Every structure is written in structure tokens, then in C-alpha cells.
Amino acid sequence: MIENITLSFQGIWSHKLRSLLTMLGIIIGIAAIITIVSTIKGTNEQIKENLIGSGNNVVTVSLRQDKTEYEMQYNDLPKGVYVIDERTRRTLEHLEGVKEVSLYRNRSYADSVYYRNSPFNGNLIGIDSHYFNVNDYVITYGRTFTENDNRSYHKCAIVDSDTAASLFEGQNPIGKIIEIATEPFVVIGVAEKKNSDSIKINSVEEYWTYADSAAGTVFVPISIWPIIYRFDEPQTVAVQAENTDMMTKAGNNVAKYLSENQIREVPNSNSKFSYTAEDLLKEATRMQQLANSTNNQLLWIAGISLLVGGIGVMNIMLVSVTERTKEIGLKKAIGAKRRRIAAQFLTEAAVLTSLGGTIGVVSGIVLSRVVSNIMKTPTAVSIPACIVAVAFSMGIGIIFGLLPAVKASKLNPIDALRSE
């Protein structure tokens, strides 16, 4: 085998230009496939990060009425649904896949928040002491809520950086008084997400996905909520999973526990309440499959160039057999078996295509970087795809080199030696 490989490289080197032109189809096909696969992988990672977030792995578990999300701002207090207490929250943290749990209440497009005469129409959220950690917020200046703030019902608020910029117009918000449902609240801090890269909105669907967060948020202690809205209400649950792959299981486990233990059936009620996990991982997978189905068509097109490259390899190996007829006859005359002759030509074809595949992989990696910089699209090189591509190119050499190898092994040694 080593001898055959050495002879193969000698043959390739002695016909450098011909070998390069023969490998060109393989190089182009493999480079195209690596570029497409890298783009697919990068796009999938981007979809996953945009929908799920870059590392906090949070699933939202919310109350639903007849499979529709129950929004308190448009409905009365739901009957038969208990408020989640601290003991239940700690129990949720021991469910499979769950790392930490936060309870909160919120109003989207809150219309009862003012600073002087300026209205605020973003999110108003009543949070517990775990919310910032679960949702990956940090206090950039000022302070966070303390246990005393919750226990003593202090009317204090924290704003995010978007709210600080829009509502206070560049002023230091610390110590400013905002009005929430006619009650005065003192701003004590400014919060910001650790990963706060700006979101690019390219469609109406993406606008509605990110519109709430783009409008800004005001946070208050969750204990203050009944003072603002005059009653306690069921909380929404933010579940931080142990890792991204456990998000679906963690969310479903929490939703199942709450549905079984926090809801009682109300006689003569036409509505059915339940807790449901927002399965962003499933949505990300759906979008990835949609992107993959489009890109798979490109892979088939790139595969055609590999077929053309394989035909080129077959053609050049047939030429090689014709050129080396006398050599084959001489080997057979001194006792070389058909299997040995066939193995030599198969090895040469495999080495030729493997070399082309390796060059194609390197070219594909470089090309994917160029495409990423020009088109501003994410790419991620897949090492398994590179290994498979080289192995596949070797397989092409073996398949398309089989006919020339068989032809060489069947040559009659007398006829071969007489050939010119």
C-alpha cells in the first residue's frame, strides 16, 4: 500500500498541470460544499442565539386560558389560579433541568407610568430578588432592590438603559421621581443586559418579537404590585435551564408542576387554565430546518460538480492506463497479479481525489470567511464536515477509478508488451 501511494504521488508530480486540471472539479465541489455547510451552521447558531439568547437559557412559563396567553391588563383576576409562593418557587428549582427560577408580574405597553408630563409606554415588571440573575441583567450604576425593599414595600424603581435615555433625556435618573398609577416611585438604579448587542430587525415578525424589549423597561419590587394594581395576581415564571439543550425539558417540567398544583377547577366554569412553557428551542429548530431545506438544494447543486469531477478522474485514469500499457504488460509478465494492478490504479485515483478534497476543504474555509465578510452573514466551520468531505472525495476516486483499474488488470500481457 505504501509503495502504491508513493507511486501515485510520483505520477501526480510528473504530470502536475494535468493532475491539477483533473482535481479542479473535486476542488470546486468540495469548496462549495464546505462554504455552504459553514454558512448553514453559522446561520443556525445565529437563529438559536437570536431566539434563545447567548447563554442565559431562559424559558418563560406563563398562564394560559384555553391555550391563549392570559394577559391581566385585558382580563379580570383568574378564578381558581393560586399565587405562587416562595416555597413553591424553591420546589421548582429542584425539578429536572432547572437551575434557577424567578417569579415576576408584568404589563406590556404600560400606560400608567410618567416622568413629569412624559408618558412611558414600555414594560412595567414587578420582580423578585432572582430576576436579574436569571435574565442576565447587571446594575450599571445605582443599586439593586434589597430584601428590605420588598419586605417594607418601598416605592422604588430601577430602569433599563433604554428607558434612562428616552425618559430622562441624558440626565442622571438616580433619585428622580416617576409616577406609576398615581403613586410616586424613586429611581434607585439603572440595569442593562450583559449581552446587549443591538438587534437587527428585518421583518414584521421580528419586530413583534423584539418590540417589547426595544421600548424599554421599568422594574419595581414584586411586593409593590398590589399597591399599583390593587390586587395580587398569578405570576409569570422565568426558568433558567442548566444548559440550552435542557430548556424544553426544564420549561415543560415547571409548566406541568404548576398546572397540577397551582390551579383548581372552578365549578360551572367554561374556561380552562394551564401553565405553558414558551418553547423557543422548538421554534429555533423549526427555523433552522427551514433554512436547512433551502441550503440543502444548494448542496445538491454543488454535488453535481463533484460528479463532473469524478467523471474527469475516470477519464484521466483511462488515459493513464493507455499510456502505461507496456508497463502493465511488463508487470504481468514478471508475475504481478490482477489484484495488484487494480490496487495500484485505484490507489492513484484515491490519492488524486483525496488531495483535491483537501485543497477543496482549505479553499472552502477561506471562501466561507470571504463570503462572511462581504455578505455580513455568520459562518462556522464544521470539523466533522471537513473530515467527511475528504473521505467522500476519496470515495469518488475509488468509485470512478474502478473501471480504469479493472481495465488495466484485464490487459493481456502479450498484447500489452506489443503495444506502442
pLDDT for 214: 54
pLDDT at 210: 45
Looking at residue 288, what is its pLDDT? 57
Answer with the residue of higher pLDDT: 340 or 229.
229
Closest CA to 92 of 322, 267, 260: 260
Average pLDDT value for residue range 351-367: 86
Calpha distance 311→299 (Å, rounded): 19
Q: Which three cell numbers stand for residue 370?
A: 470571504
Q: Residue 78 pLDDT more than 90?
A: no
Distance CA 37, CA 296 (A): 9
Largest distance between two CA atoms of the chain: 108
Q: In whole angstroms, how far apart are CA 395 and each of 24, 91, 243, 325, 358?
A: 16, 56, 38, 25, 13
The SS3 assignment for 201 reads coil
The fraction of the chain above a pLDDT of 90, given in percent, is 25
- pLDDT for res 208: 41
Least confident of 11-20, 222-231, 245-254, 282-291: 282-291
Q: What angle do CA 61, 178, 127 make, to 5 degrees?
A: 20
- Per-residue confidence band for 131, with pLDDT thresholds at 50, 70 and 90: very high
Instruction: Record the cell numbers describing residue 349, joined without a space.
Output: 485515483
pLDDT of residue 222: 93
Binning pLDDT at 50, 70 and 90, where does residue 343 land? confident
- 71-85: average pLDDT: 78
pLDDT in tens, 169-214: 878 999 999 999 889 999 999 999 886 544 444 444 444 444 444 5
pTM of the shown model: 0.59
Nearest to 342 by CA among 334, 350, 352: 350
Residues in the chain: 420
Q: Which residues face 221 on adjacent strands?
A: 127
Distance, CA of 211 to CA of 213 (rounded, Å): 6
